[in-house]
């Protein structure tokens, strides 16, 4: 990495300290301010995410390798070097040539040292760089698989596109991107997904300007497939955000249905409208609503809808590769608050379902307390509902590899599927 790029990473780290802005927002600001080639952007993003993801391990390394402490003015540049040594990108000898008073051999040996600690929770907390409470959660829920899952959550996320079938096929998109010098390969599970395998500035491509694709993780695409709207169906997207799943649903409906997309944030809905125009998605109506209630027109739409998608606010712990700072921004009290919101949103949706209609509850977390436990609580409290198994919707051959062992819920894990960690459950009103 060149010195100017190294300085950018240090600048990002300094901006992140004490900032409420997300890692993605900070990166966007820096990329707008500096002309960088695609490979340079990729490298800066990769290293910045690594620094955020490994913060606890890096600080532990500093504590054991610099017993006399570190002056504040050199702390961030030194953390950057520590990260390179921990990743094996810089040897102890080369690091010593830059800063001689650090025990770089100890830093290089630290990953193996923390992996073999006798306390499995402390080992996870340091090796995966997590708060203690979150390491306990992962150990409790995933046991021996927790280390592999967390390792995957600390790696670089793949860059995945969804071919917009309102404009083109997946094969046509791949061919057009190849003409623009961008190589892709089909995703393993999502029907319209392509993984980008060469560095690229996708937003500058003619394919993007023509609305041929949206950037969307493979697991997020699968949630839209699980919604499975019927032909010419009506879908309520209750937590639409900037509209990634609404756009995918519009493509599934081939512009022959109705989609009402809700969000409390006017800025996200403005993004949705702009994306819908580019995509040629004409059946989406975006509506701003208060976070704690639906107006009468929304309830009326919900009562006749075929599907209600509740892509609920969650911890985001299934997408730590994309938002590595979430581990430090979310604490245990937030999980309690989120659980109450999730139950309330799903309850509101299922109470308005007509017989035969379905609610799809989805999150981008891997924790049971935000996923299966929410669904069970709502099923226990709301009579007349029944779960619909994912393998019934997608078919056994497609559904089994991406569902829980019973084939009931969509469940993706980065160390198994290569995608973000997502969950989705389907509930049908039977009476």
The 10s digit of each residue's pLDDT in 410-420 is 999 999 999 99
Cβ atoms within 10 Å of 300's Cβ, excluding its own: 12
The confidence score (pLDDT) of residue 2 equals 45
Residue ranges of the chain with pLDDT lower than 50? 1-2
Residue whose C-alpha is closest to residue 407's, from 431, 385, 422, 426: 426
Tell me, yes or no, whether 7 and 132 share the same domain. no
- Is 181 found in the same domain as 319? no
Number of domains in the chain: 4
User: In whole angstroms, what is the distance from residue 351 CA to residue 379 CA?
Assistant: 11
Identify the pLDDT of residue 150: 96
Instruction: Check whether residue 258 and residue 321 sit in a common domain.
Output: yes
> Is residue 408 annotated as part of the catalytic site, yes or no?
no
Q: Return the pLDDT at 72.
A: 62
Catalytic residue among 168, 239, 364, 408: 364
pTM of structure: 0.93
Residue 279, domain CATH = 3.40.50.150
The predicted pLDDT at position 7 comes to 81
Distance, CA of 86 to CA of 82 (rounded, Å): 6
What's the pLDDT tens digit per position in 163-203? 999 999 999 999 999 999 999 999 999 999 999 998 888 99
C-alpha span between 283 and 241 (Å, rounded): 17
CATH number of the domain bearing residue 192: 3.30.70.1170
Residues 147 and 21 in one domain: no
* Residues 47 and 147 occupy one common structural domain: no
Question: Which value, to the nearest 10 degrees, does the dihedral of the CA atoms of residues 221, 227, 232, 238 take?
Answer: -90
- 278 and 358 housed in the same domain: yes
Give the separation between CA 8 and CA 2, rounded to whole angstroms: 10
pLDDT at 3: 62
Domain check: are 231 and 205 in the same one?
no
Quote the CA–CA distance of 237 and 64 in Å, as a whole number.
50
Quote the domain boundaries for residue 28.
3-116
Q: In the prediction, which pLDDT does 49 show? A: 87
Domain end residue (candidates: 128, 154, 180): 154
CATH number of residue 72's parent domain = 1.10.940
The reported pLDDT for the residue numbered 74 is 66
The answer on 395 and 265 residing in a single domain is: yes
Query: Is residue 399 located within the same domain as residue 276?
Result: yes
Helices (H), 238-282: 244-252, 266-279
Half-sphere exposure at residue 313, Cβ-oriented, CA atoms within 13 angstroms? 15
Looking at the structure, tell me whether residues 8 and 109 fall in a common domain.
Answer: yes
User: In this predicted structure, what is the pLDDT of residue 266?
Assistant: 94
At residue 181, φ and ψ (nearest 5 deg) are 85, 20
- The answer to whether residues 170 and 248 touch, using CB atoms and an 8 Å cutoff, is no
Residues 255 and 331 in one domain: yes
Evaluate whether 48 touches 27 at the Cβ level (below 8 Å). Answer: yes
Same domain, 320 and 202: no
């Amino acid at each position: 990495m060149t010195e100017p790029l190294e300085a950018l990473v240090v600048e990002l780290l300094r901006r992140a300290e004490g900032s409420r802005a997300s890692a993605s927002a900070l990166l966007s600001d820096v990329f707008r301010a500096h002309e960088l080639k695609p490979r340079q952007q990729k490298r800066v993003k990769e290293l910045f995410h690594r620094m955020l993801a490994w913060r606890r391990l890096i600080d532990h390394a500093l504590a054991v390798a610099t017993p006399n402490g570190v002056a504040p003015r050199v702390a961030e540049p030194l953390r950057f070097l520590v990260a390179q040594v921990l990743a094996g990108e810089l040897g102890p000898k080369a690091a010593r040539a830059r800063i001689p008073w650090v025990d770089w051999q100890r830093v290089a040996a630290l990953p193996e040292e923390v992996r073999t600690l006798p306390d499995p929770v402390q080992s996870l907390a340091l090796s995966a760089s997590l708060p203690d409470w979150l390491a306990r959660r992962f150990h409790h829920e995933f046991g021996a698989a927790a280390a592999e899952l967390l390792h995957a959550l600390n790696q670089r996320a793949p860059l995945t596109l969804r071919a917009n079938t309102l404009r083109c096929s997946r094969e046509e998109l791949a061919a057009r991107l190849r003409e623009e010098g961008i190589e892709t390969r089909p995703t393993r599970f999502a029907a319209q997904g392509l993984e980008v395998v060469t560095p690229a500035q996708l937003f500058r491509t003619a394919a993007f300007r023509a609305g041929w694709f949206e950037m969307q993780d493979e697991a997020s695409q699968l949630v839209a497939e699980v919604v499975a709207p019927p032909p010419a169906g009506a879908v309520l997207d209750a937590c639409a955000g900037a509209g990634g799943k609404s756009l995918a649903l519009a493509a599934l409906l081939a512009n022959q249905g109705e989609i009402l997309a809700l969000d409390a944030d006017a800025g996200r809905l403005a993004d949705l409208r702009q994306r819908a125009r580019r995509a040629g998605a004409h059946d989406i109506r975006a509506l701003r609503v208060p976070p704690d209630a639906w107006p009468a027109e929304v309830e009326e739409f919900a009562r006749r809808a075929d599907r209600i998608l509740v892509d609920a606010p969650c911890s985001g712990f299934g997408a730590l590769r994309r938002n590595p700072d979430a581990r430090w921004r979310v604490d245990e009290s937030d999980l309690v608050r989120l659980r109450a919101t999730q139950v309330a949103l799903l309850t509101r949706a299922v109470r308005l379902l007509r017989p035969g209609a379905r609610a799809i509850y989805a999150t981008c977390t891997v924790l049971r307390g935000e996923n299966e436990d929410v669904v069970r609580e709502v099923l226990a409290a709301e009579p007349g509902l029944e779960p619909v198994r994912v393998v019934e919707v997608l078919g056994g051959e497609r559904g089994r590899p991406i569902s829980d062992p019973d084939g009931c819920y969509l469940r993706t894990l980065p160390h198994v599927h290569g995608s973000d960690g997502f969950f989705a459950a389907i509930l049908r009103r039977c009476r």
